[in-house]
Structure 1
Amino acid sequence: MEVFSVNLTDILYEKADGIAKITINRPKVYNAFRARTIQELIMVFRDAWDDNRIGVVILTGTGEKAFCVGGDQKEKGDEGGYDYSGGLGGGIGLEIENLHQTIRNIPKPVIAAVNGYAIGGGHVLHVICDLTIASETAKFGQSGPKVGSYDAGFGSAYLARIVGEKKAREIWYLCEQYSAQEAKEMGLVNKVVPADQLQQAAIEWAEKILQKSPTALKMLKYSFNADSANIQGITQISMGSLAMFYNTKESEEGKNAFLEKRPVDFMKFRK
């Protein structure tokens, strides 16, 4: 097993037998990501991209509770954006757009092994992955409109390609949570397995993929991506508008209600 030489604080990264495994490692906050988490994810995905010995990537989360629940609300600054040390971050303090493009464009299949809650921005991450295997205990859903946020790019437009327009609108408008079996029935998940079999199931699929032609897989991934490539332009507009929205009282109400553990009050913004 090969270990990445760069010091990583928010994720675990290992490579062995042609498989790169990336684990979001912030279990105390349900694997919510902050700016550093996104930076590290981009870094290791690019490492897996450049390593010709790697044929498939597995993305998962530490523990049994969560895959990823999106942006860490406690890291959200007073000016709306996330506290961020360097880089443009798409205007919101997170290089989330860059991460999405990296996962989509890496010329190797990416398997999401969803071990728990895949909510908000964490839900978008698994949606973008090529394949999703879920634990029976996994939960899926969106939270953006509940906390004064949204992903109007791949998180919505590409989601609609997968589950259909009506279901995608339901997921975003109602912000409810769905079981792994419900997610499979709507085409959001490829396979559901018992919790204690999840990582092995992901490895088994990865091993099957490794037996296939890498060039054929690369071209197939590019072909699958081509149909939804226009969403990248929508994503740029979405992230730009989100940066401005984060500076509003409406978005601040969502963040504060979450942190203060009280009911959110968006009614005043409908006047």
Structure 2
Amino acid sequence: MSWTDWSIAAGDGLDNFKEIIYEKKHHQALGGGIARISLNKPDRMNTLTIATVDEMFRAFYDANHDPSIGVIIVAGKGKHFGAGGDVDWERWGLREAFYNRYPHNRLMRMSRKPIIAQVQGYCIAGHNHMAYCCDFTIAADNAVFGQAGPRVSSPADGFFVPYLSKVIGTKKAREMWMLCRKYKADEALSMGLVNTVVPLERLEAEVDAWCEELLAKSPGCLEVLKAAFDQEMDGYKESCVISANMYPDWFDMPEGKEGGSAFVEKRTPEFWSIRSREAAAQEKLLQEYEEIQAARKAGTGKN
């Protein structure tokens, strides 16, 4: 066999992971190794929280500082790669994520080692933009990709939004983000969203083959090339800057609450009803203000 068996990575800060499984294995002929970070909440479709990102950070940090590791794999346990953020957690947790923390995509940008996203089943929302920020995406034939933010009133901004234009083109990127359509694996391949599509039963073997090909190359050269390609992300604003400027109280506003509530309650969100009531409230406030101003002028004898 070309590879050693997978073994759970051990060391300071790497024990007792609850959200992920962190493993390594090495190629017996080439000598280099690969690290695999698997999201490990299959019963919740591997949904993300801050706790997930914290554990991923530790694994990424270790893999990037292990001189024997040449490639990092991001995977998901169970039937699906992942369905984005945990909606129950997002009701409060997104405030922390938006205003006080780093997004999981930053782990892809910070990594010196090439990253492969190994995708099966649903790859939606946060998992989708995590996957396309990886250097390579290898998909099973049952993979489904898409965004969900506007559907659940969860805004997104920062480098990973416009970066999708570099991956699949501006028109298709806006379509994916604004319309929240879903794309099957063959569509994703034709769009350039993934590198290759293989039968589900061959997914891990295909990832191994790509890793073997990468390990045969100079690891230092690959690190330089990855950094050179990734620098195109650096011209964009960091995540949440635009959202915080345009809607500083978004998560306390009715529209900001409605999407998540409708999703949990399995109903159609009432975004435009909320907008209509907000417009009426603003009109009432303006009328009251004008009446107060008119009364002040009348009281002072001014026209």
Same fold (TM over 0.5): yes
Counterpart in the other structure of 1:179: 184
| Helix, strand or coil at the partner of 1:46 | helix
The answer to whether 1:10 aligns with 2:19 is yes
Give how far 1:116 is off: 1.2
Counterpart CA distance in 1 for 2:207 and 2:249 is: 39
Radius of gyration: which is bigger? 2
Please tell me whether the aligned partners of residues 124 and 154 of structure 1 are also in contact (alpha carbons under 8 angstroms).
no
Counterpart in the other structure of 2:82: 68
| Range with greater deviation from structure 2 (234-243 or 191-200) | 234-243
Give how far 1:167 is off: 0.5
Counterpart CA distance in 1 for 2:116 and 2:177 is: 23
Q: CA 1:131 to 1:235, structure 2 compared with 1: closer, same or farther past 3 Å?
A: same
Please tell me whether the aligned partners of residues 262 and 269 of structure 2 are also in contact (alpha carbons under 8 angstroms).
yes
| Range with greater deviation from structure 2 (190-199 or 245-254) | 245-254
| Helix, strand or coil at the partner of 1:112 | strand
Runs of 4+ in 1 over 4 A off after TM superposition: none
Counterpart in the other structure of 1:246: 251
Counterpart CA distance in 2 for 1:119 and 1:184 is: 16
| Helix, strand or coil at the partner of 2:239 | helix
Counterpart CA distance in 1 for 2:55 and 2:133 is: 18
The answer to whether 1:33 aligns with 2:41 is no
Counterpart in the other structure of 1:258: 263
| Helix, strand or coil at the partner of 1:9 | coil
Structure 1: where are the runs of 5+ without partners?
none
Counterpart CA distance in 1 for 2:117 and 2:133 is: 9
Counterpart CA distance in 2 for 1:105 and 1:239 is: 23
The answer to whether 1:205 aligns with 2:210 is yes
Give how far 1:137 is off: 0.2
Q: CA 1:243 to 1:197, structure 2 compared with 1: closer, same or farther past 3 Å?
A: farther
Q: Per-residue CA shift, 1:123-158, capped at 9, x if unaligned?
A: 111011000000100000010000011222233210
Higher share in helix: 2
Q: What percentage of residue pairs aligned between the two structures are identical?
A: 38
Counterpart in the other structure of 1:214: 219
The answer to whether 1:81 aligns with 2:93 is yes
Q: CA RMSD in A?
A: 1.8
Give how far 1:28 is off: 1.1
Counterpart CA distance in 2 for 1:243 and 1:143 is: 21
What is the one-letter code of the residue matched to 2:90? K
Q: Per-residue CA shift, 1:74-124, capped at 9, x if unaligned?
A: 1134xx4349xxxx64427xx442x32221221111000111111111111
Counterpart CA distance in 2 for 1:115 and 1:96 is: 26
Please tell me whether the aligned partners of residues 69 and 117 of structure 1 are also in contact (alpha carbons under 8 angstroms).
yes
Counterpart in the other structure of 1:235: 239
Please tell me whether the aligned partners of residues 137 and 180 of structure 1 are also in contact (alpha carbons under 8 angstroms).
yes
Give how far 1:24 is off: 0.5
Structure 2: where are the runs of 5+ without partners?
1-5, 27-32, 277-303
Please tell me whether the aligned partners of residues 153 and 235 of structure 1 are also in contact (alpha carbons under 8 angstroms).
yes
Counterpart in the other structure of 2:64: 49
Q: Which residue of 20, 34, 43 maps to 1:19?
A: 34
Counterpart in the other structure of 1:148: 153
| Helix, strand or coil at the partner of 1:253 | helix
| Helix, strand or coil at the partner of 2:75 | strand
The answer to whether 1:269 aligns with 2:281 is no
What is the one-letter code of the residue matched to 2:107? T
Counterpart CA distance in 1 for 2:83 and 2:205 is: 23
Q: Per-residue CA shift, 1:204-253, capped at 9, x if unaligned?
A: 1011101100111011011101222112x242514645774222210100
Q: Which residue of 64, 85, 91 maps to 2:99?
A: 91
What is the one-letter code of the residue matched to 1:9? K
Counterpart CA distance in 1 for 2:141 and 2:262 is: 31
What is the one-letter code of the residue matched to 2:76? G
